[in-house]
Amino acid sequence: MLTNEIAKKAQVHPNTVRLYEQWQFISPVPRRPNGYRVYYDIHLKQMYIARLAFKQEFIQNNLRKMATKIVRLSGQEKFQDSLQAAHHYFYFLQSEYTYAKKAVHMANTLLQHTNSSNKIYTHKEVSTNLQVTEDTIRNWERNGLFTVKRNAQNRRQYSEEDIQKLLIIRTLRSAHFSITSILHLFEEIKEVEQVADIHTLLNTLKFKHEFYHVTDELELNLKRAVTDVQSIIAILEQLQ
Cβ contact 102:167 at 8 Å: yes
Mean pLDDT of 78-91: 96
**How far apart, in whole angstroms, are the C-alpha atoms of residue 133 and residue 136?**
5
CA 207 to chain centre: 21
Cβ contact 11:45 at 8 Å: no
**31-73 confidence digits (pLDDT tens):** 999 888 999 999 999 999 999 998 876 545 567 889 999 999 9
| pLDDT value of position 89 | 93
Fold that domain 58-240 belongs to in CATH = Multidrug-efflux Transporter Regulator; Chain: A; Domain 2 (1.10.1660)
CA 43 to chain centre: 27
The CA angle 229-233-234, to the nearest 5 degrees, is 115
Alpha carbons within 13 angstroms on the beta-carbon side of residue 204 total: 20
**163-196 confidence digits (pLDDT tens):** 888 888 888 887 767 888 888 777 776 655 555 5
Domain ranges in the chain are: 58-240
Task: Kindly list the distances between the CA atom of residue 91 and the CA atoms of 29, 70, 211, 222, in Å, as whole numbers in the listed order.
Answer: 33, 14, 24, 11
Lowest mean pLDDT, pick from 22-26, 80-84, 155-159:
155-159
What does DSSP say about strands 156-157 and 149-150: parallel, antiparallel, or unpaired?
antiparallel
CB atoms within 10 A of CB 74: 31
| pLDDT value of position 29 | 94
| pLDDT value of position 57 | 66
| pLDDT value of position 109 | 65
**How far apart, in whole angstroms, are the C-alpha atoms of residue 103 and residue 101?**
5
| pLDDT value of position 131 | 84
Q: Per DSSP, which regions of the chain are E strands?
A: 149-150, 156-157
Mean pLDDT of 140-162: 88
Q: At residue 20, does pLDDT exceed 90?
A: yes
| pLDDT value of position 117 | 65
**94-136 confidence digits (pLDDT tens):** 888 887 777 777 666 655 555 556 788 899 999 998 888 999 9
Report the amino acid identity of residue 104.
Answer: V
Query: Which of 119, 210, 125, 211 minimizes the C-alpha distance to 161?
Result: 119
**How far apart, in whole angstroms, are the C-alpha atoms of residue 127 and residue 125?**
5
| pLDDT value of position 176 | 67
